[in-house]
Amino acid sequence: MKPLVELAQVIRTKNAGPYELTLDIIFKSRRIYEQVKKENSLNAALIARVYGVPEPDILKAIYFDPACAFKATMKRPLPCGDPGERDIYGAQQHAPLLNLLLPWEDEHESDS
């Protein structure tokens, strides 16, 4: 296992419109990305679990080759700006991803 923070160069969230939150994980190299993608280590079920939401609330979970990136888009628990909502831009909702460990074998470690 390897911490996601050691494999990624960008871990971010942002609104995609007022009703959706989208998270981007951009990996440090294409080889790291290809390995994560091959093992499908990041997926909708995992994102649902770490955010404590039902899996159908994860609307998209996509690997995007041109940017060596994984993207997931979820339904916001509260729409942007509703009473009780806490992050208008959705820019600070990435914390649950910072402790993730991904399956990783030793022979890939030289890539990071």
Partner 1 sequence: MKPLVLLSPTAILGYGFPAASLDRGLSFHPDVIAVDAGSSDPGPYYLGAGQSFVPRRSVKRDLVFLLRAARRLRIPVIIGSAGGSGARPHLEWCREIILEVAREESLSFRMAVVPADVPRELLLEELSNGRVEPLGPAPQLTAEAVNESTYLAAQMGIEPLIEALEGGAEVVLAGRCYDPAVFAALPVRQGYPAGLSLHLGKILECAAIAAVPGSGSDCMIGILEQGRFLVEPAGEGRRATEASVAAHTLYEKSDPYLLPGPGGSIDLQEAVFTQVTDRRVAVEGSRWRPASPYTVKVEGARQIGYRVVSLAGARDPAFIEQLDAVLQGVEERTRDNFSHEEGSYRLLFHVYGRDGVMGPQEPHPAAGHEVGIVMEAIADSQEFAEAVLGFARSTMLHFGFPGRLTTAGNLAFPYSPSDFKVGKAYVFSVHHLLALPDPRQIFPVSFEEVHP
CB of 106 to partner 1, least distance (A): 27
In sequence order, the 6+-apart residues with CB closer than 8 A to the CB of 67 are: 26
Residues that bind partner 1 (CB under 8 A): 10, 14-20, 22, 24, 26, 50-52, 59-60, 62, 64, 66-69, 71, 73, 75-77, 79-84, 86-89, 92-93, 95-96, 99
In this complex, which beta carbon is closest to partner 1, that of residue 79 or of residue 105? 79
CB of 104 to partner 1, least distance (A): 21
In this complex, which beta carbon is closest to partner 1, that of residue 79 or of residue 103? 79
Alpha helix ranges (H) inside the chain: 4-7, 30-39, 44-51
Burial of 107 (C-beta count, 10 Å sphere; 0-12/13-18/19+): exposed
